[in-house]
Amino acid sequence: MYEEPYRWIEAVGNRRHYLDEQFTKGAPVVASAYADGILMLTASRGTPKLYEIYDRIALGGMGHPADLEKLRFSLLEMAHIEGFNRSPSDVTGARLMKYGLAPAIKQAFEEIYKAPFIVKILLAELGTRPERDLFLTINYDGTFEESRRWASLGATATVQAQMGRYLDSQPGFEQAPLKQAVETALCAWAVGSLAQAASSAAEGEETPGLAPADTTAGDASTLPGKDSLLAHVRQTVTEKSLECILLERNGPGSSKYRALGSDELGGLLPSGISTASPA
Amino acid sequence: MGMQGDFFQLLKEQGYQFGNPVAAAAGIEVPTATTILALKYRDGVLVAGDRRATAGNMVMYDRTDKVLEIDRHSVMAIAGVPATAYEMVRVLAHSFKYYRRTQLQELSFEGKLRAVSKLLKENVPAALAGTGAVVPVFAGYDHEQGAAKIYFYDILGAEFEAVEYAVSGSGSPTIRGILHYQNTWGPQPLASLPEEQATVQALRLLSSAAEFDSATGGVNRELNLYPVVKLITEAGVRVIADGDLKRLYEQDVLRAR
Q: Which fold has domain A5-260?
A: Glutamine Phosphoribosylpyrophosphate, subunit 1, domain 1 (3.60.20)
SS3 A49: coil
Give the mean pLDDT of chain B. 90
Per-residue pLDDT reduced to its tens digit, B91-144: 999 999 999 999 999 999 999 999 999 999 999 888 888 778 889 999 999 999
Calpha distance B191→B44 (Å, rounded): 9
Q: What percent of chain B has pLDDT over 70?
A: 93
pLDDT value of residue A208: 45
Q: Tell which residue, A226, A211, A126, A122, has the closest CA to residue A169.
A: A226
Q: Are A188 and A200 in contact (CB under 8 A)?
A: no
pLDDT value of residue A207: 47
> Per the CB < 8 Å rule, is B11 touching A52?
no
Q: What are phi and psi of A4, to 5 degrees?
A: -75, 135
Calpha distance A260→B236 (Å, rounded): 18
Burial status of residue B106 (CB atoms within 10 A of its CB: 0-12, 13-18, 19 or more):
middle
Mutation for testing the A interface, residue in B6, B100, B102, B141 having most A CBs under 10 Å: B102
Q: What is the DSSP letter of A254?
A: S
- Residue B5 clears pLDDT 90, i.e. is over it: no
Per-residue pLDDT reduced to its tens digit, A230-247: 999 998 888 899 999 999
Helices and strands counted in chain A (H then E) = 9, 10
pLDDT value of residue A61: 97
pLDDT value of residue A216: 45
Calpha distance A278→B24 (Å, rounded): 64
Q: Are B112 and B43 in contact (CB under 8 A)?
A: no
- Residue B150 clears pLDDT 70, i.e. is over it: yes
> Per the CB < 8 Å rule, is A77 touching B100?
no
Q: Which residues pair with A151 in a beta bridge?
A: A31
Catalytic residue list of B: 34
For residue B72, the distance in angstroms to the closest alpha carbon of chain A comes to 7
Calpha distance B88→B1 (Å, rounded): 21
Q: What percent of chain A has pLDDT over 70?
A: 91
SS3 A118: coil
- Grade residue A215 by pLDDT with cuts at 50, 70 and 90: very low
- Residue B83 clears pLDDT 60, i.e. is over it: yes
A5 or B216, which is more confident = B216
Q: What is the mean pLDDT of residues A73-81?
A: 96
Calpha distance A36→A174 (Å, rounded): 9
- Residue A134 clears pLDDT 70, i.e. is over it: yes
Q: What is the mean pLDDT of residues A7-19?
A: 91
- Residue A176 clears pLDDT 50, i.e. is over it: yes
Whether the ipTM is more than 0.90: the answer is no
> Per the CB < 8 Å rule, is B7 touching A253?
no
- Residue B24 clears pLDDT 70, i.e. is over it: no
Q: What is the mean pLDDT of residues B44-61?
A: 90
Under an 8 Å CB criterion, which residues of B touch A? 2-3, 7, 10-11, 14, 69, 71-72, 90-91, 94, 97-98, 100-102, 104, 236
Q: Are B157 and B124 in contact (CB under 8 A)?
A: yes
pLDDT value of residue B256: 66
Q: What percent of chain B has pLDDT over 90?
A: 69
The domain ranges of chain A are 5-260
Spell out the domains of chain B, with CATH numbers in brackets.
8-13+35-253 (3.60.20.10)
Q: What is the mean pLDDT of residues B188-200?
A: 96
- Which of the residue ranges A76-80, A183-187, B189-193, B219-223 would you say has the lowest mean pLDDT? B219-223
- Grade residue A113 by pLDDT with cuts at 50, 70 and 90: confident
A211 or A54, which is more confident = A54
Under an 8 Å CB criterion, which residues of A touch B? 48, 51-55, 73, 76-77, 80-81, 83-84, 252-253, 255
